[in-house]
């Protein structure tokens, strides 16, 4: 391939400086483009091979062991590799197995980031080969049914540089020697455990002193806890008090989902021990009360994002409602001046009963006190047109999403048209809104994005030119789909 230079003379790709070739290659985002470019010239082929530091291996790469040897031979500087067999069938050929992992571990010395997803052939002996990756810093294991705690212990002992571990849907992992080892070594900065059926929140407390260094911690159960069963954590506390004697001075991101706790028992204790939180997500955590949130807010003045998904529970002395009240909102308003992103979702709260502990006045107070730029409200039947009037005065608000907020009407949307900074608007399952209300906002605001999903009285015609980017759908979800989305989000929290 030959290109004209500034004098009109033809030059070949072989004559271009290597730095320029590198810049060309870095600007190509997709693997297919990179593969096509490498066919243009031998030099591009060589430079692309030298610069490629990440590959993805999925279904259909077969025989995978031979392919790995070839890939690692060509791409000698691989740092990030993902094996993902989601949707695999026998027709795709053999998956990566223990032998393939052994071969891979011997020919990819620069690996720092590895993901193994839906690798049903890998067991503990295969995980043992990961110790050969002396530079491995980040490991993600998702849906590996054959691995157990023994395999994870070999990873903990062998991978001395490991700083991030994500464990998802690995249901045969139970004992926690690996967790105790990682806690004592103090190497982890990120620990994520999601939908691992045999790992309990009290097991994770054995991470102990590891919480002193970790910056991101996430624990999610797969099932919503039973709000009608009285929690009794006393049996877990016997002889274990020392496990709560730690501080989390560096923890910035905390996510807890679908667990039951009590004051000072279980992972709820983290809320009282954090001092550097920036992002907090609590999804249907039964047992968190105002005093926990107040303590957290007083100690974490750099909090920037909070996401709460709440469902009614039996609150002693107050009846059946969500546990958090305006006292929590007041603490956030008073002690968290950096708060910019707020998400509040209420599930199972009937509109005719006082089942939401927050009031509209409390929400308005929070909105007025903090520089909130991104606000999401779901199932907030306490929020009506007067609340929208208050939103219209929020000078920092740029993005707003309302889901199944049944008390809001077109009057509220007319107020929203006055919002000084709003550029992104999303409405979902808001059947009280019509074309009239949305058009008012569209005319008044220069929206960057507008999303309308399953709002029965809003037409495509009314919104199709309402923003630079418009997404519209009018298909209605089944009841099960609606419940799943409330509990787990669009694709799982």
CA-nearest of 53, 68, 55 to 102 is 68
Helices 360-369 and 326-335 meet at what angle, rounded to 10?
10
CA-nearest of 61, 55, 57 to 75 is 55
Domain for residue 10, yes or no? yes
Q: Which pLDDT score, from 0 to 100, does residue 235 have?
A: 46
Domain for residue 30, yes or no? yes
Give CA–CA dist 266/249, Å, rounded.
19
Domain for residue 463, yes or no? no
Domain hosting 26: range is 1-52
Query: Would the pLDDT of 239 be above 90?
Result: no
Domain for residue 344, yes or no? no
Condensed to tens digits (0 to 9), the pLDDT of residues 392-425 reads: 999 999 999 999 999 999 999 999 999 999 999 9
Residue 259 main-chain phi, psi, to 5 deg: -135, 160
Tokens 């071969």 map to which residue? Answer: 103
Q: Three-state SS for 214? A: coil
pTM for the full model? Answer: 0.86
Give CA–CA dist 341/418, Å, rounded.
21
CA atoms within 13 A on the CB side of 54: 10
Total domains, the chain: 1
- What percentage of the chain has pLDDT greater than the value 70? 79
Domain for residue 172, yes or no? no
Domain for residue 188, yes or no? no
Query: Would the pLDDT of 446 be above 90?
Result: no
Residue-wise over 172-184: b if at least 16 C-beta within 10 A, else e? Answer: bbeebebbbbbbe
Give the model's confidence band at 237: pLDDT under 50 very low, under 70 low, under 90 confident, else very high: very low
Question: Which of 1-5, 55-59, 90-94, 441-445 is predicted least confidently?
Answer: 1-5
Condensed to tens digits (0 to 9), the pLDDT of residues 146-163 reads: 999 999 999 999 999 999
Tell me whether strands 80-84 and 138-142 are parallel, antiparallel or unpaired. Answer: unpaired
CA-nearest of 175, 172, 182 to 143 is 172
Indicate the Cα dihedral angle 317, 320, 324, 326, nearest 10°: -80
Give CA–CA dist 323/127, Å, rounded.
43
Condensed to tens digits (0 to 9), the pLDDT of residues 116-142 reads: 999 999 999 999 999 999 999 999 999
Higher pLDDT, 62 or 111: 111
CA-nearest of 357, 365, 471, 363 to 424 is 471
Q: Which pLDDT score, from 0 to 100, does residue 265 have?
A: 73
Q: Three-state SS for 365? A: helix
Give CA–CA dist 291/14, Å, rounded.
68
With a CB cutoff of 8 Å and minimum separation 6, the contacts of 339 are 303, 304, 305, 306, 332, 370, 371, 372
Tokens 């006082």 map to which residue? Answer: 354
Condensed to tens digits (0 to 9), the pLDDT of residues 242-279 reads: 456 778 889 999 999 998 887 667 888 889 889 999 99
Give CA–CA dist 225/247, Å, rounded.
27
CA-nearest of 54, 52, 40, 110 to 83 is 54
Contact 142, 171 (CB under 8 A): no
Cα end-to-end distance, the chain, whole Å: 49
Residue-wise over 89-108: b if at least 16 C-beta within 10 A, else e? Answer: eeeeeebbbbebbebbbebb
Higher pLDDT, 97 or 28: 97
Q: Which pLDDT score, from 0 to 100, does residue 491 have?
A: 46
Give CA–CA dist 141/78, Å, rounded.
19
Q: How crowded is residue 459: how many other Cβ atoms within 10 Å of its Cβ?
A: 15
Give the model's confidence band at 44: pLDDT under 50 very low, under 70 low, under 90 confident, else very high: low
Contact 157, 185 (CB under 8 A): no
- The answer, yes or no, to whether the previous bond of 63 is cis (omega within 30 of 0) is yes
- Length, in residues, of the chain: 493
Give CA–CA dist 289/206, Å, rounded.
24
Q: How crowded is residue 451: how many other Cβ atoms within 10 Å of its Cβ?
A: 17
With a CB cutoff of 8 Å and minimum separation 6, the contacts of 272 are 264, 292, 295, 296, 299
Give CA–CA dist 101/408, Å, rounded.
56
Tokens 């903990």 map to which residue? Answer: 156
Domain for residue 19, yes or no? yes
* 306 DSSP β-pair partners: 280, 342
Domain for residue 48, yes or no? yes
Q: Output the average pLDDT for the chain.
A: 85
Contact 435, 411 (CB under 8 A): no
Q: How crowded is residue 298: how many other Cβ atoms within 10 Å of its Cβ?
A: 12
Residue 404: left (phi > 0), alpha (psi -120 to 50), or beta?
Answer: left
Residue-wise over 219-232: b if at least 16 C-beta within 10 A, else e? Answer: bbbeebbeeeeebe
């Amino acid at each position: 391939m030959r290109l004209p230079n500034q004098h009109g003379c033809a030059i070949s790709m072989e004559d271009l400086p290597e730095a320029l070739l590198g810049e060309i290659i870095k600007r190509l985002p997709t693997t297919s483009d990179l593969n096509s470019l490498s066919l243009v010239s031998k030099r591009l082929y060589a430079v692309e091979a030298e610069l490629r530091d990440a590959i993805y291996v999925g279904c259909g790469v077969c025989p995978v062991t031979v392919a790995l040897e070839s890939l690692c031979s060509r791409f000698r500087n691989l740092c990030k590799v993902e094996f993902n067999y989601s949707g695999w069938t026998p027709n795709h050929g053999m998956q990566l197995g223990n032998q393939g992992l052994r071969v891979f571990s011997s020919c990819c010395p620069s690996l720092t980031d590895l993901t193994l997803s839906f690798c049903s052939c890998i067991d503990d002996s295969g995980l043992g080969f990961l110790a050969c990756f002396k530079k491995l810093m980040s490991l993600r294991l998702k849906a590996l049914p054959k691995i157990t705690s023994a395999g994870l212990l070999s990873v903990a002992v062998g991978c001395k540089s490991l700083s991030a571990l994500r464990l998802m849907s690995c249901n045969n992992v139970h004992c926690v020697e690996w967790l105790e080892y990682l806690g004592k070594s103090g190497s982890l900065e990120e620990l994520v455990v999601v939908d691992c059926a045999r790992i309990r929140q009290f097991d994770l407390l054995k991470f102990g002193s590891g919480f002193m260094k970790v910056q991101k911690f996430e624990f999610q159960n797969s099932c919503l806890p039973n709000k009608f069963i009285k929690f009794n954590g006393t049996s877990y506390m016997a002889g274990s008090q020392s496990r709560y004697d730690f501080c989390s001075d560096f923890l910035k991101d905390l996510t807890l989902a679908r667990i039951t706790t009590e004051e000072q028992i279980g992972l709820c204790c983290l809320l009282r021990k954090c001092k550097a939180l920036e992002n907090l997500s609590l999804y249907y955590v039964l047992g968190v009360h105002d005093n926990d949130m107040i303590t957290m807010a007083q100690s974490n003045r750099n909090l920037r994002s909070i996401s709460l998904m709440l469902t009614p529970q039996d609150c002693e002395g107050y009846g059946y409602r969500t546990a958090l009240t305006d006292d929590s909102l007041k603490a956030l308003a008073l002690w968290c001046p950096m708060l910019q992103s707020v998400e509040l979702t209420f599930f199972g709260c009937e509109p005719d009963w006082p089942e939401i502990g927050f009031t509209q006045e409390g929400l308005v107070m929070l909105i007025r006190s903090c520089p909130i730029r991104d606000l999401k409200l779901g199932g907030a039947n306490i929020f009506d047109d007067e609340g929208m009037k208050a939103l219209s005065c929020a000078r920092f608000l740029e993005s707003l999403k309302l889901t199944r907020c049944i008390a809001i009407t077109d009057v509220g949307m007319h107020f929203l048209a006055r919002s000084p900074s709003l550029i992104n608007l999303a409405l979902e399952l808001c059947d009280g809104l019509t074309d009239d209300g949305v058009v008012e906002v569209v005319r008044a605001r220069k929206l960057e994005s507008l999303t309308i999903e399953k709002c029965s009285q809003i037409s495509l015609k009314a919104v199709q030119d309402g923003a630079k980017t418009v997404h519209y759908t009018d298909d209605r979800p089944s009841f099960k789909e609606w419940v799943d989305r409330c509990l787990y989000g669009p694709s799982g929290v």
